[in-house]
Amino acid sequence: MTLLVVLLAGCAETSPDWTPLDGPWDPEHPEAVRILAAPEADAPIDSAMAAAGERWYRNRGCLACHRMDGTPVVGPSLLGITERRDYDWYRAMVMNPDSMLVHDDDARELLQVWRVPMPDQGVRELEARALWEYQRREDRARRP
């Protein structure tokens, strides 16, 4: 729950009366759409969301298969992922990897290269969005 407090601290400015901590996540709430929306490529990094994404990346064990420094491990490095893929593809891959292997040519190509399918980690949409923000932050930090 602490992660969500940090994640949504920036959202409290525009909607102090609702956060996912007030009860179950409500995808129908007007603020949910804004929180989960894919950022424009040049949008500023939401530092609270990126920090939560980094913690989720480490706590979920993503680091065991995906490094952020270009080092290949069990799966591809995520270095530059926000420049190679769009958010919708990324979200689908982290939330529904089994479905992506059935329906997406790029996901099947990755499986041919890495030989290990990404397991379903039970990533929820809020987590996927925070993970993306973390990866956007890291990709920007590495730009020359």
Q: What is the pLDDT of residues 88-115, one digit of tens each?
A: 999 999 999 999 999 999 999 999 999 9
> Which position has the higher pLDDT, 26 or 76?
76
Domain count of the fold of the chain: 1
44 in a domain, yes or no? yes
Going from the C-alpha of 116 to that of each of 40, 75, 89, the distances in angstroms are: 31, 7, 19
Residue 113 lies in a domain: no
**Domain annotation covers residue 70:** yes
C-alpha triplet 143, 63, 132: angle, nearest 5°: 50
CATH code: domain of residue 48: 1.10.760.10
Mean pLDDT on 77-83: 94
pLDDT tier, 66 (very low <50, low <70, confident <90, very high otherwise): very high
In a domain, residue 84? The reply is yes
For residue 102, tell me if it sits in a domain: no
**Radius of gyration of the CA atoms of the chain, in A:** 15
Residue 82 has pLDDT above 90, yes or no: yes
pLDDT band of 78, cuts 50, 70, 90: very high
Contacts of 125 (CB under 8 A, 6+ apart): 27, 36, 91, 95
Q: What is the pLDDT of residue 10?
A: 39
**pTM passes above 0.85:** no
Residue 24: band (very low, low, confident or very high) from pLDDT cuts 50, 70, 90: low
What average pLDDT does this structure show over 7-28? 47
Quote the domain boundaries for residue 132: 2-96+123-141
Instruction: Give, as one character, the DSSP assignment of residue 72.
Output: B
Percent of residues, the chain, with pLDDT higher than 90 = 55
Residue 49, pLDDT above cutoff 80: yes
